[in-house]
Amino acid sequence: MFNKKFLMGCLTIFVITIGLSGCSYTESDIEESAVSIVNQILHEQNDIDLDCEDVIITQAYDDDTYDAKATLSDDSVIDINIEYYPDKDNYVYVEIPSEEMASLYYW
């Protein structure tokens, strides 16, 4: 069975405030912010010894949501979801879907 930390990790959703209030972020800015958020999710919330090296947005939607791929230090690539809130001091919200988190526990 899965341990409690694993289950908590699968349900993890992390929100971070990022600087530049009053300015809209470009996709590149959002990708850069997402790298550090993915690292926080992996390290601080799930104790996974991998680093996110890059995030690439693969699909942008009209409602400031994005599908993206995160490349990790073991060369694996995971799907992530990003939401951007320009009206809320440029919040960037990153979710690693539970099935993607589960795959990281079996490397």
b (16+ CB within 10 A) / e for 34-56? bbebbbbbbeebbebebebeebe
Give the residues across from 78 on adjacent strands.
70
Q: How high is the pLDDT of residue 82?
A: 97
Count of structural domains, the chain: 1
- The parent domain of residue 60 ranges over 4-104
Q: How many beta carbons lie within 10 A of that of residue 81, not counting itself?
A: 16
Query: Do residues 8 and 79 make contact, with C-beta atoms less than 8 angstroms apart?
Result: no
pLDDT tens-digit readout, 37-52 = 999 999 999 999 999 9
State residue 105's pLDDT score. Answer: 82
User: Does pLDDT of 12 surpass 70?
Assistant: no
- Lowest-pLDDT range, 5-9, 27-31, 64-68? 5-9
Tell whether the model's pLDDT for residue 23 goes beyond 90: no
